[in-house]
Chains A and B, each alone.
Chain A
């Protein structure tokens, strides 16, 4: 470190013009991509679990549940993609909490940028993460023998619907990310909710075989509607009612939680 290089580096550079809101959010989305590149494990540890579930359920119970493993796989796989993406939403809260603990949020907030950019950027990055994870699970499914009758368009539409729902579900986890002390507690807290949400749904079995009280729980669980809509879109013949329920739930969840999350964001820590 010579005096000369230090001086050149500090010679007054004119302050560049602050970036637009979009550019700031995209830059922070780029950061999320870099994290996927450097820490791919963060993507795979959440996809490994659903893949394990797929293998176990298909080959252990598939024959008993649907007559043949191949028939069961056609039923199960769209739901497993849903489960994968919904599990991944936790990472929005985990990432945010890590940034706060590490002081990165303070740096972002002391920059002359559009203030919500760090959150919007994180959500943008998450959309890519969700899509990548969905693709990984779908490829495994295709290898195992999953054949979506709805074709590529149906599959893409189903994944888009999942992205909408996942973006909405991210907001509560952002709030949890602000509230708790460590990234690990974000995980624990969120999974307490996510496990029942994904299992008490029609992802794994047809609810018709469940006790009536449980059937009514499954029927109001938005994950059930998302799984049903995804199955419908991937195999052709989705019910409009399911799709609308998913969209409506996403709007309500976002409207309820996003303002609280943003208020907590502006509130000092």
Chain B
């Protein structure tokens, strides 16, 4: 069986900006696949090319066996896109939005209404069905948006940052929905800035940065590439951070980098038995520790390991 997504040397430039720089991606059918990366890495561009909204500048892309340029109509018939911003009509009610999409997919009025009813119930929106979407909360909008993408169950669903800007409860609801979609056999390509999200949902993931694929594999493999767990140490006195950094580097046998905050240090731990030694070394010098945590690697850690710099997050990342 042909893969759900198969790209070779996919490139795209907008003016002087190279959004994509030769991406080779292969996604098998029936999986949830995560595309992980910071803002501006090329995630959205990749999805827009695969959903036939923009043409590739170079290279090729096949979706469910069809070329995205030559057989765009065939691709459109089988995929669904939920963009980064809820693409629903705010002036219309939730119900009208879904009926509209159903009619555009060729449902009769009667079938469109029945399908709409079914989806509104499944997404817990039946009480808000007759309200204008502009009165919906961010989480409700996002659910309606995903529902609109599922009016006709697609073979492949693109979800562009489905939980960005959502509160934790809505985020969990979206995660449940994604799992249920995948359980019914739809392939899901999901972009996210959160390693935790990719970790919970995706069978495999690709890390993308500056338009290039810099790593690919299961979440476990990616974390292994970082080299085990990370220890986060917050010193009580920020002025002694450099001193602590040197001690930790000695204890762990490799460089230790500072976190975003002035008192924070993060170190990769390859051998857990070295952790007590590190703590003892700090105590021997009288460096008080305010916080100490042994954590699974985060996106920042994976990024640091892969690129040698922290993942950049823009201040405008949170959208409502």
Is there contact, CB below 8 Å, between A13 and B152? yes
Chain A residue at minimal CB-CB distance from B122: A9
Contact A7 to B79, CB < 8 A, known contacts A27-B100, A104-B87, A113-B104? no
Please judge, given known A-B contacts A1-B176, A9-B121, A18-B105, whether A107 and B87 are in contact too, CB under 8 Å.
yes
Q: 22 A-B contacts, Cβ less than 8 Å apart?
A: A5-B121, A6-B122, A6-B176, A8-B118, A9-B119, A9-B122, A10-B180, A12-B185, A19-B106, A34-B91, A38-B92, A102-B89, A106-B53, A107-B87, A110-B79, A110-B80, A110-B81, A111-B76, A111-B104, A113-B104, A268-B53, A268-B55
Q: How far is the CA of A3 from the CA of B179 in the complex (A)?
A: 10
Which of B86, B118, B122, B185 has most chain A Cβ within 10 Å? B122
CA distance A109 to B79 in the complex (A): 12
Do B85 and A103 have beta carbons less than 8 Å apart? yes
Contact with A along B95-108 (1 / 0, CB 8 A): 01000110111110
CB within 8 Å for A11 and B89 given contacts A103-B83, A110-B51, A268-B55: no
Please tell me if A234 contacts chain B, counting CB pairs below 8 Å.
Answer: no
Is A34 a contact of B92 with CB atoms below 8 Å? yes
Does B307 interact with chain A (Cβ within 8 Å)? Answer: no
In the bound complex, what is the Cα–Cα distance between A19 and B73 (angstroms)?
Answer: 13
CB–CB A10/B186 < 8 A: yes
The answer to whether A10 touches B53, judged by C-beta atoms less than 8 angstroms apart, is no
How many A residues face the partner with a CB closer than 8 A?
Answer: 39
Contact with A along B209-224 (1 / 0, CB 8 A): 0000000000000000
B90 at the A interface (CB under 8 A):
yes
CA of A12 to CA of B183 in the docked complex: distance in angstroms? 11
The chain A residue sitting closest to B102, CB to CB, is A16
A window 88-138: CB within 8 A of B:
102-104, 106-113, 117
Q: What's the Cα separation between A17 and B115 when bound, in Å?
A: 15
Residue A192 CB within 8 A of the other chain? no
Contacting residues, chain B, for A12 (C-beta < 8 A): 153, 184-185
Specify which chain A residues have a CB less than 8 angstroms from the CB of B181 in the assembled complex: 10
Number of interface residues of B (CB under 8 A): 54
Pairwise interchain contact B184-A3, C-beta atoms closer than 8 A:
no
Given contact pairs A13-B115, A34-B96, A1 touches B89 in the complex (Cβ within 8 A): no
Say yes or no for A223: interface residue by CB 8 A criterion: no
Most buried by A among B91, B115, B123, B176: B91
**A203: shortest Cβ distance to chain B, in Å?**
32
Q: Is the CB of A38 within 8 A of B91?
A: yes
Complex contacts, B106 vs chain A, CB 8 Å: 16-19, 23
Known: A5-B121, A6-B122, A11-B184. Is A110-B92 also a contact (CB below 8 A)? no
Q: Is A35 an interface residue (CB 8 A)?
A: yes
The answer to whether residues A111 and B184 also contact, given A13-B152, A15-B152 and a CB cut-off of 8 A, is no
Chain B nearest CB, measured from A125 CB (Å): 12
Q: Which B-chain residue is minimally distant from A7 (CB atoms)?
A: B180
Q: Please, what's the 1-or-0 string for A25-57, where 1 marks a CB less than 8 Å from any CB in chain B? A: 001101100110011000000000000000000
Most central of B106, B111, B119 by chain A CB within 10 Å: B106
Chain B CB within 8 A of A176 CB: no
B132 to chain A, nearest CB (A): 6
CB within 8 Å of B: which residues of A?
A: 1, 3, 5-13, 15-19, 23-24, 27-28, 30-31, 34-35, 38-39, 102-104, 106-113, 117, 268
Closest CB in chain B relative to A121 CB, distance in Å: 10
Kindly state whether residue B275 has any CB partner on chain A within 8 Å.
no
B127-170 residues with Cβ-Cβ distance < 8 A to A are 132, 148, 150, 152-153
Q: In the complex, A9→B114 CA distance in Å?
A: 11
Chain A hits for B246, CB < 8 A: none
Q: Which residues of A contact B93 (CB under 8 A)?
A: 38
The CA of A24 and the CA of B105, in the complex, are separated in Å by: 9
B177 is an interface residue with CB less than 8 A from chain A:
yes
Contact B52 A110 (CB under 8 A): yes
Check A102–B91 contact: CB distance below 8 A: no
Contacts of B85 in A (CB 8 A): 102-103
Q: Given A10-B180, A106-B87, does the pair A112, B118 have CB atoms closer than 8 Å?
A: no
Given A19-B106, A107-B81, are A31 and B89 also a contact pair (CB < 8 Å)?
Answer: yes
Q: Mark B28-47, 1 if CB is under 8 A from A, else 0.
A: 00000000000000000000
A112:B180 contact, CB within 8 angstroms: no
Q: Which partner residue on chain A sits nearest B183 by CB separation? A: A7
Considering only CB atoms, which chain B residue lies closest to A20 in the complex? B106
Question: Which 4 A/B pairs are nearest by Cβ-Cβ distance?
Answer: A9-B122, A103-B87, A16-B106, A268-B54
